[in-house]
Amino acid sequence: MALVTTKEMFGKAYEGGYAVGAFNVNNMEIVQGITEAAGELRSPVILQVSAGARKYANHVYLVKLVEAALELNDIPIALHLDHGADFDICKSCIDGGFTSVMIDGSHHSFENNIELTRRVVEYAHLKGVVVEGELGQLAGIEDDVNVSAENASYTHPDEVEEFVSKTGVDSLAIAIGTSHGAFKFKPGQKPQLRFDILDEVSKRLPNFPIVLHGASSVSQEYVKTIQENGGQLADAIGIPEDMLRQAARSAVCKINIDSDLRLAMTAGVRKVLYNNPAAFDPREYLKEGRANVKALVEHKIKNVLGSENKA
């Protein structure tokens, strides 16, 4: 099967009350872990690449790794640019084989966000590529942008219709209280998401796919494993999975997960190296990291996204 866009995936997910997982990929083991899980569970999946991932692994390597995964797993896979900061990076990914891009104009004014997003949509659609836009700002770190909790802002539902109609975007990321990274809430703080904003947005945008960024749950099992094996990760707190499941049943069709993959991979690698300081074969510790990534994605597909057997 060739790479697909997210159009059909989102249509089915919206109708079926589930979401498709969008997992960040940075190397071969991560691509393998994610796609083996999705392949075995017959789930569609989105593999997303950030500017940082392209800098680390090189665009061509990442595309070829994803092509290899497609050859080995007969499931719908979309290749997506995560947090495209400007027109040029979106163009480079559109021209370079991606089937979906995000233009993240959320740091700009509403008017400039519309202008930038519209320009990317115009180019992408000519090439058969779909576009995700964003309104509202999440807290946390993504590449070089660090948004403090004070500067984060929820999406204003009264802006979404104008944004979507003027830009022509295919999906919209909104801010309802999720945030990037492994430290989403302060210790003792009760995790909360603004489902009222999500409801209001979906009323104003009927049958339109909504995206949630910053949706890692930060499994305490992996945090504990990292700590027990010489790591320091106290107070890492994520989004409760029951809240994500609730979101997946609604208009949310894409749920972004990166930090959970990092924790899973690191927990596996740490466990091997801490217990066997003499180990020096990368296959020995990366294998463990890859197995954790696979187990994590299986868990998400079955218990959070609801996308099993939807390929």
**Residues recognised as catalytic:** 82
**Residue 126 Cβ, how far from ligand 13P at the closest point, in Å?**
25
Instruction: Tell me: does residue 213 bind Zn ion (CB under 5 A).
Output: yes
Instruction: Tell me: does residue 142 bind ligand G3H (CB under 6 A).
Output: yes
Single-letter amino acid code for the residue at 129: V
**Residue 145 Cβ, how far from ligand G3H at the closest point, in Å?**
9
Buried b (16+ CB within 10 A) or exposed e, 40-68: ebebbbbbbbbbebbeebebeebbebbee
The partner in contact with residue 143, picked from ligand 13P, ligand G3H, Zn ion, none with C-beta cut-offs of 5 to 8 angstroms by kind, is ligand G3H
Interacting residues with ligand G3H between 172 and 211 (CB under 6 A): 180
The partner in contact with residue 53, picked from ligand G3H, Zn ion, ligand 13P, none with C-beta cut-offs of 5 to 8 angstroms by kind, is ligand G3H
Instruction: Tell me: does residue 258 bind ligand 13P (CB under 6 A).
Output: yes
Residue 131's SS3 state is strand
Interacting residues with ligand G3H between 35 and 64 (CB under 6 A): 50, 52-53
Q: Are 245 and 204 in contact (CB under 8 A)?
A: no
Instruction: Tell me: does residue 213 bind ligand 13P (CB under 6 A).
Output: yes
Residue 94's SS3 state is helix
Cα(80)–Cα(54) distance, integer angstroms: 12
User: Which range binds Zn ion by CB under 5 A, 38-46, 93-101, 213-221, 224-232?
Assistant: 213-221
Instruction: Tell me: does residue 258 bind ligand G3H (CB under 6 A).
Output: yes
* Site size for ligand G3H (CB under 6 A): 10
Cα(38)–Cα(305) distance, integer angstroms: 12
Q: Are 265 and 25 in contact (CB under 8 A)?
A: no
Cα(10)–Cα(185) distance, integer angstroms: 29
User: Which range binds ligand 13P by CB under 6 A, 127-135, 195-203, 244-252, 255-263?
Assistant: 255-263
Pairing outcome for strands 145-147 and 140-142: antiparallel
Q: Are 83 and 143 in contact (CB under 8 A)?
A: yes
Residues that bind ligand 13P (CB under 6 A): 24, 82-83, 180-181, 213-216, 256-260
In the complex, the residues that contact ligand G3H under the rule CB under 6 A are 24, 50, 52-53, 82-83, 142-143, 180, 258
- The residues binding Zn ion (CB under 5 A) are 213
